[in-house]
């Protein structure tokens, strides 16, 4: 009679065999189901995997430069910076674009044809870049924005605004992109709207949004 432990061990090894068998080769199409976040975690803990992926990411980023800027500092106020975004967050947004959960036709088509290692690579690459915040030009407006941010936004976005695995970095982000996101949220329209945030913003005049944006874009 085989012991329970052996049965369990056999079961587990069969499971992992299935997992490995299901894992497509590195150049497999992005549509194949790969545990992207799992492989990213693995890379973060294994320099032998991390280094080549980071290198791939740096090469892939040449495709993104045109819109997101060299090193992810966007030259265009309505296109977001990717520099300094959380690696896990970037990868998750890429998945959402590809799956059509986050809507942007160009991003969807582009990400869909990329391999999982390319996606993990650019996420690592951008997470490693430094964002260049825009110095506040209107100091009075940014000061007003700081008061609003501290009162209404800090509870979720924290005093530094640098984001985390589930939340976008807002610090140093492009002003038009931020304004559009806030107005969309205030209107409660479309996807990517946080209910509590929308409630807070419903009390905001356009001038309040301008102020909080002036502050966030200048945050390091």
CB 91 within 8 A of CB 40: yes
d(CA 61, CA 200) in angstroms, rounded, equals 36
Site for ligand HEC in 85-124 (CB under 6 A): 85, 90, 93-94, 104, 106-107, 110, 122
- Residues 147/149/218/69 CA torsion (nearest 10 deg): -170
Q: At its nearest, how many Å lie between ligand HEC and the CB of residue 43?
A: 16
- Contact call for residue 186 and ligand HEC (CB under 6 A): no
Q: What is the DSSP letter of 76?
A: S
Single residue of 152, 158, 175, 183 touching ligand HEC by CB under 6 A: 152
- Count of chain residues binding ligand HEC (CB under 6 A): 36
- Contact call for residue 131 and ligand HEC (CB under 6 A): no
Single residue of 30, 36, 40, 64 touching ligand HEC by CB under 6 A: 64
Single residue of 120, 131, 153, 171 touching ligand HEC by CB under 6 A: 153
Nearest to 184 by CA among 161, 208, 209: 209
Q: At its nearest, how many Å lie between ligand HEC and the CB of residue 25?
A: 21
CB 89 within 8 A of CB 166: yes
As a whole number of Å, the CA-based R_g of the chain is 21
* Other CB atoms within 10 Å distance of the CB of residue 162: 19
State the residues that interact with ligand HEC by CB under 6 A: 60, 63-64, 66-68, 79-80, 82, 85, 90, 93-94, 104, 106-107, 110, 122, 152-153, 155-157, 167-168, 170, 178, 181-182, 192, 194, 196-197, 200-201, 212
């Amino acid at each position: 009679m085989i012991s329970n432990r052996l049965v369990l061990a056999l079961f587990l090894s069969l499971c992992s065999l299935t997992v490995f068998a299901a894992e497509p080769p590195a150049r497999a199409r992005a549509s194949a189901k790969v545990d992207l976040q799992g492989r990213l975690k693995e890379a973060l803990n294994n320099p032998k995997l991390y280094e080549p992926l980071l290198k791939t990411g740096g090469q892939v980023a040449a495709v993104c430069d045109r819109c997101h800027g060299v090193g992810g500092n966007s030259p265009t106020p309505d296109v977001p910076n990717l520099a300094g975004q959380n690696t896990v967050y970037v990868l998750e947004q890429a998945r959402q674009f590809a799956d059509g959960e986050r809507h942007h036709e160009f991003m969807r088509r582009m990400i869909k044809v990329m391999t999982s290692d390319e996606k993990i690579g650019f996420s690592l690459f951008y997470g490693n870049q430094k964002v260049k915040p825009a110095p506040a030009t209107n100091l009075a407006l940014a000061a007003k924005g700081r008061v609003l941010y501290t009162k209404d936004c800090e509870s979720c976005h924290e005093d530094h605004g640098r984001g985390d695995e589930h939340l976008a970095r807002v610090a140093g982000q492009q002003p038009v992109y931020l304004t559009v996101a806030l107005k969309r949220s205030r209107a409660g329209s479309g996807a990517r709207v946080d209910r509590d945030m929308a409630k807070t913003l419903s009390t905001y005049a356009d001038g309040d949004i301008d102020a909080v944006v002036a502050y966030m874009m200048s945050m390091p």
